[in-house]
């Protein structure tokens, strides 16, 4: 997913007109920050005075990562070399790091393996799920609002397995699933609107019809409780460079429900998932457990950077993160209502907490130009065609003061738009 580049000549928020100390909402923001139980976690990240609200595209750099990578390069690779596969624990990293991610998505140890890209893991999950589906299945349901790659992969998997793909709005899946459905691939949080889909309800409806549930967690893992084990999810995938802050292109992960692992038949059987990988047997025999989700040699530098990044989560509960996420997004919406000119912006993110992820998406005329100007002024979000401004809130490091400043600068930018410009219907409220 593309990120909006920062302009090195940005005007920082501190330079904005109407000093923050004179604004009522800014005073309230300072009070909220002073009472925030997660406020100290911000110091675990490398940040500046930019208001960074694009953590739903690329998370900020955790302070622990540079030193850890330097150690890996200089000692583990530079000195130990091949010995690091055993002596430094490289070989076990995909499962070890999977166990670090597991509590953040509600999974027990031994159910997540880290490696490969999100797209590759979606392919494994969909084809593997079809292979486990009952006889007579003829279709795969795909979230009609999905991130495009998921749809591309699903259609390719369908061609390979002889099934058809049927796009369905997430809210309609419970009504549309039939005995002919092998599985449904659904985004937990809609990447464009920030809408949170009903993972427990959709999963239960799929199971009632004999179908499997495959969830894409890219915009929910690290932002809100997921409950994979508790809700009986069959397979799930997710990236680690958003709310998990693993770095650009950091490896994704695959979850397979424990009761399905013995039946999981990966469409990409690599030597790393072989029961005896160093036997170099020309015949493939899958390893036991989640290891069969591996493919080839792991990307060690990215894996170990991710492992260090996860140290930022030490002592943090996902429930506390969710509480702050909702408070931040509520506060931002309140500030937008206070500062934005009437009729210039409209929220497409649900106000209902049970249907909201950790981002706020606003429709606005000339949204691309608006975001460019926001970035120039030191407020970094991103833009989605044709008219959506996206603001991602990462509770580990986003403050209420930043939410208020972003809304204020947005109001200034919107007020500067020519009066004759077409206006988005309604307001943020």
Please calculate the CA angle 391-58-296 and round it to the nearest 5 degrees.
145
Cite the beta strand spans of 307-358 per DSSP E. 346-347
End-to-end C-alpha distance for the chain, whole angstroms: 28
C-alpha dist (Å) from residue 304 to 67, 76, 250, 298:
11, 11, 10, 10
Spatial distance between the Cα atoms of 380 and 47, rounded to a whole number of angstroms: 13
Spatial distance between the Cα atoms of 188 and 145, rounded to a whole number of angstroms: 11
Q: Which active-site residues does the annotation give?
A: 147, 216, 241-242, 390
Q: Which is it for the CA torsion 319, 325, 328, 334, positive or negative? A: negative
Which DSSP state fits 111? S
Question: Is the Cβ–Cβ distance between 195 and 349 less than 8 Å?
Answer: yes
Spatial distance between the Cα atoms of 234 and 183, rounded to a whole number of angstroms: 10
Residue 359's H or E segment, with its range, is strand 359-363
Neighbour tally for 339: CB within 10 Å = 22
Residue 186's H or E segment, with its range, is strand 181-187
Neighbour tally for 303: CB within 10 Å = 21
| 294 closest CA partner among 309, 316, 272 | 272
Neighbour tally for 133: CB within 10 Å = 19
Residue 372's H or E segment, with its range, is helix 367-376
| 154 closest CA partner among 181, 163, 175 | 163
Question: Is the Cβ–Cβ distance between 249 and 302 less than 8 Å?
Answer: yes
- Both structure tokens of 173: 């899946």
Spatial distance between the Cα atoms of 29 and 329, rounded to a whole number of angstroms: 13
């Amino acid at each position: 997913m593309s990120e909006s580049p920062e302009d090195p000549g940005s005007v920082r928020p501190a330079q904005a007109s109407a000093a923050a100390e004179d604004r009522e909402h800014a005073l309230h923001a300072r009070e909220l920050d002073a009472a925030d139980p997660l406020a100290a976690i911000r110091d675990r990240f490398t940040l500046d005075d930019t208001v960074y609200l694009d953590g739903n595209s690329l998370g900020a750099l955790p302070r622990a990562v540079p030193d850890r990578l330097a150690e890996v390069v200089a000692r583990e690779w530079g000195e130990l070399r091949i010995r690091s596969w055993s002596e430094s624990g490289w070989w076990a990293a995909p499962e070890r790091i999977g166990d670090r991610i597991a509590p953040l998505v509600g999974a027990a140890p031994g159910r997540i393996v880290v490696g490969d890209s999100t797209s590759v893991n979606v392919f494994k999950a969909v084809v593997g799920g079809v292979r486990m589906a009952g006889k007579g299945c003829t279709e795969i349901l795909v979230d009609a609002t999905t991130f495009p790659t998921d749809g591309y992969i699903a259609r390719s998997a369908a061609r390979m397995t002889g099934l058809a793909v049927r796009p369905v709005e997430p809210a309609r899946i419970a009504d549309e699933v039939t005995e002919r459905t092998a599985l449904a691939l659904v985004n937990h949080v809609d990447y464009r609107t920030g809408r949170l889909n009903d993972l427990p309800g959709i999963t239960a409806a799929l199971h009632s019809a004999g179908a499997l549930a495959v969830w894409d967690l890219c915009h929910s893992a690290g932002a809100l409780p997921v409950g994979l084990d508790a809700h009986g999810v069959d397979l799930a995938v997710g990236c680690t460079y958003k709310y998990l802050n693993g770095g650009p292109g950091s490896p994704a992960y695959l979850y397979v429900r424990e009761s399905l692992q013995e039946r999981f038949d990966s469409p990409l059987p690599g030597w790393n998932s072989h029961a005896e990988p160093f036997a170099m047997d020309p015949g493939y025999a899958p390893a036991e457990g989640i290891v069969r989700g591996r493919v080839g040699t792991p990307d060690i530098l990215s894996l170990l950077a991710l492992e260090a990044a996860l140290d930022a989560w030490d002592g943090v509960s996902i429930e506390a993160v969710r509480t702050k996420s909702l408070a931040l997004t509520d506060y931002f919406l309140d500030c937008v209502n206070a500062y934005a000119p009437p009729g210039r912006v409209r929220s497409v993110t649900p106000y209902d907490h049970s249907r909201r992820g950790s981002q706020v998406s606003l429709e606005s005329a000339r949204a691309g130009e608006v975001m460019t100007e926001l970035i120039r002024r030191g407020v970094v979000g991103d833009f989605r065609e044709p008219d959506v401004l996206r603001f991602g809130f990462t509770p580990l490091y986003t403050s209420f003061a930043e939410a208020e400043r972003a809304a204020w600068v947005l109001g200034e930018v919107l007020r500067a738009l020519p009066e004759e410009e077409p206006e988005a219907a309604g307001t943020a409220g």
